[in-house]
Amino acid sequence: MVRLITHNLLACHAKGCTTNNFPLQIKDAQLALREAEFNPDFLRGFIPRIEWAALVSAARQLGDESLPNEVPEMIDDDFLRGLHHVLLEIHIDEGAMVCPNCGHVYPISSGIPNMLLAEHEIG
């Protein structure tokens, strides 16, 4: 289950690929929605670690337009519930993530991303 929370933390790490290597573009995604327990304390604590623009664009790529362009100043329950859904309940079960810089393809199979590189690709 590559959830968008995980996608938001993954960057390309191929040899020499150090700029414009994040966020990975999502390709051919097969999605599933799975409920998760809502924990506002977790979300509040995690917000500072989110790359917001990357999250918004990933969600839009998957057809979810619910997030605002910026983190609102007033963080209320409605916002947190929407964020909860996008971060934790949308799963990419199959598909791939592609580096916007070098084009490296990281496949996702049965919800598990394969981020390994071949030996000659390791930086």
Partner 1 sequence: MIPTPDLSHLRKADYERIYEPAEDTFILLDALEQDAESLRASAPRVCLEIGSGSGCVSTFLGALLGSSGALYLCTDINPHAARCTRLTGSQNKISLDPLIGSLAAPLRHRLTRAVDVLIFNPPYVPTEEDEAAGAQVDAGITGAWAGGARGMLVTDALLEQVETLLSPHGRFYLVAVRQNDIPAIEARMRDRHGLDSAVVLQRRAGGEHLFILRIARRPPV
Binding site for Zn ion (CB under 5 A): 12, 14, 17, 21, 99, 101-102, 104
Residues 22-51 that bind partner 1 (CB under 8 A): 22, 36-39, 41-42, 45-46, 49, 51
Q: 15-30: string of b/e by CB count within 10 Å (b at 16+)?
A: eebeeebebbebeebe
Q: Which does 113 bind (CB under 5 to 8 A by kind): Zn ion, partner 1, none?
A: partner 1
Q: Cα(11)–Cα(97) distance, rounded to whole angstroms? A: 10
For residue 102, state whether it binds partner 1 (rule: CB under 8 A).
Answer: no
CB-neighbour burial class of residue 56 (10 A; exposed 0-12, middle 13-18, buried 19+): buried
For residue 85, state whether it binds partner 1 (rule: CB under 8 A).
Answer: no
For residue 52, state whether it binds partner 1 (rule: CB under 8 A).
Answer: no
Cα R_g (the chain), whole angstroms: 15
- Count of Cβ atoms closer than 10 Å to residue 99 Cβ: 20
CB of 51 to partner 1, least distance (A): 7
Q: Which residues bind partner 1 (CB under 8 A)?
A: 1-3, 5-6, 8-13, 21-22, 36-39, 41-42, 45-46, 49, 51, 106, 110-117, 119, 122
